[in-house]
Amino acid sequence: MSGDHDHDGAHDHSHLSDMDARIRALESLLVEKGYIESEAVDEIVELYETKIGPRNGAHVVVKAWTEPEFEKWLRDDATAAIHSLGYTSRQGEHMVAVFNSDDTHHMVVCTLCSCYPWSVLGLPPTWYKSPPYRSRSVIDPRGVLEEFGTVVPESTAVEVHDSTAETRYLVVPQRPAGTEDWTAEQLQKLVTRNSMIGTSFALSPEQAT
């Protein structure tokens, strides 16, 4: 099964327009009932498109890469460290930061639904919510990583975090070699969303150019 890709197929076009009509009817009903305002829905959608996204997480990661005191705070109390930067939005109330190293590679999943650190990464990508990722990441993490082009040596442990509670996990990828004299602004370009989920490494200087 191709999971969420199904609706790219031709047979699903009628299905999609059915959903378009159904959701338009639902919104108009909820507005008429006084439960919601469409302008508030617009604003929520807009904020997650423009203000609450993976740039927040990249800021946290680069601060940890460049400021040892912040790194220690992030290890000891990720919630306080991340909230101190203003990233207090929902699905980020309780944070744990896990640090990739030569010994351990961390990756995050929610097998039971789609728990994801919205406050620092925004909305989850489609693949994160899909049955292939949710079923396989706990039983075959190395196979999943390889699909993302991420090869973790056998001698490095892979630790998968299944987000079963309200704790949200942020992966701090390893800082790429050859970036010792880079500015924070330059470093942030290396920190992709997937590197903070743990399905990829941070970009190398060569990949970023």
Which lies closer to other proteins via its Cβ, residue 16 or residue 151? Answer: 16
Judged by CB under 8 A, the stretch of 12-20, 63-71, 172-180, 201-209 that binds other proteins is 12-20
- Give the contacts of 174 (CB within 8 A, at least 6 positions apart): 100, 101, 102, 201, 202
Query: If you search the block for the tokens 């899909």, which residue do you land on?
Result: 130
Question: Between 8 and 69, whose beta carbon lies closer to other proteins?
Answer: 8
Task: Restricting to residues 84-113, name those near other proteins by CB under 8 A.
Answer: 88-91, 93-94, 96, 111-113
CB of 15 to other proteins, least distance (A): 9
Instruction: Tell me which of 115, 119, 130, 195 is the catalytic residue.
Output: 115
Binding to other proteins (CB under 8 A): which residues in 15-54? 16, 19-20, 22-30, 32-37, 39-45, 47-49, 52
Task: Specify the stretch interacting with other proteins by CB under 8 A; choose among 66-74, 137-145, 170-178, 182-190.
Answer: 137-145
Question: Is residue 170 a contact partner of residue 82, using CB atoms and an 8 Å limit?
Answer: yes
- Binding status of residue 11 toward other proteins by CB under 8 A: no
- Which span (55-63, 67-75, 118-126, 173-181) binds other proteins, by CB under 8 A? 118-126
Rounded to 5°, angle at Cα 78 from 73 and 79: 125
- Catalytic residue status for 115: yes
Catalytic residue among 110, 119, 195, 200: 110
| C-alpha span between 168 and 155 (Å, rounded) | 27
Tell me whether residue 66 or residue 114 sits nearer to other proteins (CB atom): 114
- For residues 47-79, one letter each, b for 16 or more C-beta atoms within 10 angstroms of the residue's C-beta and e for the rest, the string is eeeeebbbebbbbbbbbbbeeeebbebbeeebb
**CB-count burial class (<10 Å; 0-12, 13-18, 19+) for 36:** middle
Catalytic residue numbers, as ranges: 110, 113-115
